[in-house]
Structure 1
Amino acid sequence: MVAAVLTVAAGLGVRAVAGGEFAKCAGDALYTVLVHTLVVLVAPRVRPARAAVVAAALSWAVELFQLTGVPDDLGRRSTLARLVLGSTFNPPDLFWYLVGAALAWAVHRALRPGAAAAPVC
């Protein structure tokens, strides 16, 4: 749960400090990091690679769902729907979701119990 809160805080922090394209790309990547975190919360024993694939697939599904126009309609009526589903399909977002999945995989792998410690020097 702490990881989910930290991820949301990171997303809000990026938006507060940076703007434009950097904040948008970072937000897309952090969206998938959050999905990865939620996957781990639901299935704590999931392996990092599987969690990353599921997170990327769910992020892509949401992005592709935007092609229907339904998320845009829901987002006009609900802030939560807009935050979760977005509104407009943007092909580059698909790449940034993969970046987020890779980042989440690396952190999850490093933090897994029994993970090899990194060399000091």
Structure 2
Amino acid sequence: MLTVAAGLGARSAAAGDWAVYAGDALYTVLVGALVVLVAPRLRPVPAAGAALALSWAVELFQLTGVPAALAAHSALVPLVLGTTFNAPDLLWYAVGAAVVWAVYGAARRLARRQGATAGH
């Protein structure tokens, strides 16, 4: 929920390219959170890699024109799949994957430390 709120906040509070690219990075953070939710035992690097791969797949899917065609029939499709390919988005998805790796890695380390402390 925090990621969605941050993405919507970036779009409404900021303008221009920064808001768009912050939204792109946060899209991958959201995908990463969903990956971890589905596969909680996944380590940080594979989780971030899966989030990046899925984000890139969605962006490359836009090259087919299918998401744009589907968007004509659904208001949800553009939010999930986008409509037009934009090469710089690929870089910003990598930034989001780096955030997934860093935050999820830190959370796992903290959980291990707390678990070790609770065991003594």
- Give the structure 1 partner of residue 16 of structure 2: 20
Structure-2 separation of matches of 1:40 and 1:107: 12
Unaligned runs of 5+ in 1: 117-121
Structure-2 separation of matches of 1:11 and 1:71: 21
- Give the structure 1 partner of residue 118 of structure 2: none
* 1:65 aligns to 2:61 (yes or no): yes
Equivalenced residue count is 112
- Give the structure 2 partner of residue 119 of structure 1: none
Instruction: Within 5 Å, give how 1:79-98 maps onto structure 2.
Output: 79-98=75-94
Structure-1 separation of matches of 2:89 and 2:113: 31
Structure-2 separation of matches of 1:115 and 1:101: 24
Name the amino acid aligned to 1:35.
V
Structure-1 separation of matches of 2:12 and 2:89: 20
* 1:10 aligns to 2:6 (yes or no): yes
Please provide the CA RMSD for this pair.
1.2
Structure-1 separation of matches of 2:18 and 2:72: 25
Larger CA Rg, structure 1 vs 2:
2
TM-score, with length taken from structure 2: 0.90
Structure-2 separation of matches of 1:72 and 1:115: 47
Unaligned runs of 5+ in 2: 115-120
Give the alignment partner of residue 111 of structure 1, picking from 107, 111, 114.
107
Name the amino acid aligned to 1:20.
G
Structure-1 separation of matches of 2:96 and 2:75: 23
What whole-Å deviation, never above 9, does each CA across 1:79-112 have from its counterpart, x for those lacking one?
A: 1111000000000000000000001110000111
